[in-house]
Amino acid sequence: MNDVLYAPWRSEYVSGERIEGCVFCHISSHVKDDSALHVLYRDEYCFMVMNKYPYTPGHFMIIPHLHTDKLEELPSETWLHMSDLAQKSVRLLKEGFNAHGVNIGMNLGESGGAGIAEHVHMHIVPRWQKDTNFITSIAHTRVYSTDFEKIYNRIKELVAEYIK
């Protein structure tokens, strides 16, 4: 017998409009589509966007506008700005979103595990006690426990308060 996990939100991935080229550059250059693209914040150096396929509710990324796959070539002012946003994001998730902890990570290059290797990006992942269970560890399946749009709207409200 085959196990079936019902995941209707994946239909957009299978049948949705494909973005040609770098998805992060597309998001960076389409300011008018921020809501549809789930952008939380943007400024002259970078933007913050919800992860479309999150590890946990509230998982988002900080991404420089500059297209590069080499962290070592990212201008220092951009890197320092991303780090400042990461600090503020941790406070946002702990105080405003009641996360017990936060994972921050970057996977550099395809060999380093990056799903989108051509453009550096930093993951900000809220964590809670016991948020990993048998379905994650044994079945290698993630369960997203709440509505993505509600989480996006909540984090966007918190960004207005915590990211200045």
**Which residues participate in catalysis according to the annotation?**
121
In angstroms, rounded to a whole number, what is the distance separating the alpha carbons of residues 157 and 84? 19
Dist. CA 1–CA 143, nearest whole Å: 21
Q: Which of 57, 49, 67 is nearest to 117 (CA)?
A: 67
Q: Tell how many helices (H) and how many strands (E) occur in the chain.
A: 6, 5
User: Can you tell me the distance from the alpha carbon of 107 to that of 67, in angstroms, rounded to the nearest whole number?
Assistant: 15
C-alpha distances (whole Å) from 52 to each of 12, 32, 37 are 11, 18, 9
